Amino acid sequence: MLLKQKIAEDLKSAMKSGDTLRRDALRMLSAFLKNVEIEKKKRDEGLNDEEVQAVVLRAIKQRRDSATQYLSGGRTDLAEKETQEAEIFSVYLPQQLTRKELEKEVEKNIVGFPEIKISDMGKIMRAVMGKLKGQADGNLVREIVEKKIKSVDEN
């Protein structure tokens, strides 16, 4: 079953069960997917699973950013809702790698650079994120890469 079909099936089951948070979140995600299809002129054939995962990642990032802003504004109720929606969306992503697995992957990619400088961070990030394709949060990968670069600079 295609990922987009799975989202539609989950939306139907949320509607039947009366789960309003899940229903509303999946409706929003479906609308987001349709907008991307129109934008990419793929309305007839639809998005493939990789493209759907990219849209889901973008939706999760938006929810997390919104939650952070709501928390800084003192709106914990809205921040909680955004966080719950991000959790609902995360079901449609591949299994996320652990921090140790990410550190190993970053190490593999750093080996290709003779002298690592902070200016190489973008290249390393592109290499790591290109291989992982939705299996890791970009902020966590960035944090690990920065830590590795700083540890090399100190030596």
Q: Are 69 and 107 in the same domain?
A: no
User: Exposure of 73 by Cβ count < 10 A (0-12 exposed, 13-18 middle, 19+ buried)?
Assistant: exposed
Contact 136, 97 (CB under 8 A): yes
Are residues 103 and 68 part of one domain?
Answer: no
Check residue 153 and give its pLDDT: 62
Structure confidence at residue 33 (pLDDT): 92
* Residue finishing a domain among 39, 55, 90: 90
Domain final residue pick, 90, 120, 139: 90
Of 90, 124, 141, which residue sits at a domain end? 90
Q: Is the same domain home to 86 and 104?
A: no
Q: Check whether residue 77 and residue 19 sit in a common domain.
A: yes
Distance CA 67, CA 148 (A): 29
Higher pLDDT, 76 or 94: 76
What pTM value is reported for the model?
0.74
Mark whether 10 and 61 lie in a shared domain.
yes
What pLDDT was estimated at residue 50? 85
Lowest-pLDDT choice from 27-31, 56-60, 145-149: 145-149
The number of C-alpha atoms within 13 Å of 88 and in the hemisphere containing its C-beta is 25
Residue 118 confidence (pLDDT): 76
- Count structural domains, the chain: 2
Q: Would you say residue 77 has pLDDT above 90?
A: yes
The answer to whether residues 104 and 58 belong to one domain is no
Q: Is the pLDDT of residue 86 over 90?
A: yes
- On whether both 132 and 149 belong to a single domain, the answer is yes
Residue 46: both structure tokens together:
């639809």
Q: Supply the CATH number for residue 145's domain.
A: 1.10.10.410
pLDDT, mean of residues 51-59: 89
Domain extent at residue 74:
3-90
For residues 62 and 29, state if they share a domain.
yes
What local confidence, expressed as pLDDT, does residue 152 receive?
Answer: 67
Query: How would residue 75 be classed by pLDDT, with cut points 50, 70 and 90?
Result: very high
Residues 81, 35 within the same domain: yes
Helix ranges (H only) for the chain are 3-17, 20-39, 49-72, 76-90, 99-110, 121-132, 138-154
**Per-residue pLDDT, 144:** 86
Q: What is the pLDDT of residue 2?
A: 87
